[in-house]
Structure 1
Amino acid sequence: MKNVLNNTKKGILMVAMLATVMGFANEIDGRDLRITALTINNVKEGNLLSIKDINGSTLYTEIIEQSGSYTKGFDLTELPDGSYFFELDKDITIKTIPFNVKSNIAVFDKDKETIIFKPFVQKHNDLVYITKLAPELEPLKINVYGLYSSGASELLFTETIKGKENIERVLKLERGNYKIVFNSNDKTYTKYINN
């Protein structure tokens, strides 16, 4: 008899818990169903994640706080109809993840994801080594400016390298301060060198 009462109490408790859970499930706001989870593997602390529109205007920016795997929910359906992309700016690459919003529905286009390789600069004594991977043979424009204590700058060297998949340059710089500006893939990158 004692076991029957215990089992009955457990059964009533289970039914009460199930009813409570079902009650919460019915109260889920419709907006929660529109959240898109973005997961990106192999991120590093300090990487920059942005959402941009097709014109390149930045709508959202976040600095990644932890290395490893990044996951976050975004309600992309609140954006006006149009084309957008996530941009993950890493040390030597920029990954773009395009998506479209139409009638409050966000759709990703995996086939149009791209990776752009940024120029890599390394200084050793008075030599500056510049490398860039250009799988689409995209050109790289290099401008080297001398920076002076008066605040003035002077263009000392300019070159556009075209038609190469592996771009490599070595520049010899005298003592001084320099700004190297790179243009490639419709983006500008700047590196300062103190020699």
Structure 2
Amino acid sequence: MRTTVKTILLVTLMFGTLISYATEITKPIKIGGKRVKVQFNAVKKGQALTIKDVNGVIIYKQDIQESGVYSKIFDLSLLKDGYYTTELEKDFEIIIQKIKVEKNTVTLFKQETTKVFKPVVRNEGNMLLVSKIAFKKQPVKVMLYYNNDMIFSETLEGKKLIERVYKLSKSEKGNYKLVLGTDGRMYTKEFTI
């Protein structure tokens, strides 16, 4: 009986210690073998998960089928040694985690998780509204096309919050395409007036 009480007390103390350190990540997590568990909380149906190599080539892409917690174990045994990213594309942001594959070991850099805020674009009639959060004041290249011909181009920079309204001609009806380049990514919005 006494041994059982000591064992229960020891397990409880160990479990409590583990819980108290569970959220503290001070160094990369090394995982033996080339398998890694990717987990994101608070995902929504329709969001997309991609795994990319260092050149931005998509190795894996999946649309999230259920809202809640997304968790999946990936076997990376066919990947060459190098750096990769997992990216969860949400409505207004992209959450990026870095992975390193080297000599049958996978290193997950959870403490280096970054967020990229996507530009928000709306068109109402002949008005085009563009906004982008840029905490590091990254430049945003704006290119507007009308029937596949570029009609306007500018680079916005130096602000943490970029907001712009473009008034398009009511008489120039047809197909428009807005292309935004920022954070090393391109975003496209097509619309018709």
Same fold (TM over 0.5): yes
1:134 lines up with 2:129 in the alignment: no
Partner residue in 2 for 1:8: none
Greater fraction helix = 1
Equivalent-residue separation in structure 2 for 1:100 and 1:114 (angstroms):
16
Higher radius of gyration, 1 or 2? 1
1:123-162 matches, cutoff 5 A: 123-147=123-147, 153-162=148-157
Matched, 1:170 2:179: no
Letter in 2 for 1:170: V
- Corresponding position of 1:189: 187
- RCO greater where, 1 or 2, for CA within 8 Å and sep 6 or more? 2
Q: Distance in 2 between matches of 1:104 and 1:53?
A: 17
Question: Contact 1:134–1:165 (CA<8 Å) still a contact in 2?
Answer: yes
AA paired with 1:46?
Answer: G
Q: Distance in 2 between matches of 1:34 and 1:105?
A: 6
Deviations 1:92-118 (A, max 9, x none): 211111011111111111232211111
Unaligned runs of 5+ in 1: 1-32, 148-152
Q: 1-side partners of 2:46 and 2:187: how far apart?
A: 17
- Runs of 5+ consecutive residues of structure 2 not aligned to the other structure: 1-32
Q: Give a deviation string over 1:151-173, Cα, whole Å, max 9, x none.
A: xx221111100111000000111
* 2:117 matched residue in structure 1: 117
Aligned alpha-carbon RMSD (Å):
1.7
Residue in structure 2 matched with residue 57 of structure 1 by the alignment: 57
Does the aligned pair in 2 maintain the 1:99–1:109 contact within 8 Å? yes
Name the structure with the higher strand share: 2
Q: Partners of 2:88 and 2:39 in 1: how far apart?
A: 12
Aligned residues with identical type, % of pairs? 37
Number of equivalenced pairs:
159
Deviation track 1:122-142 (CA, whole Å, cap 9, x = no partner) reads 122321110000011100010
Equivalent residue for 2:93?
A: 93
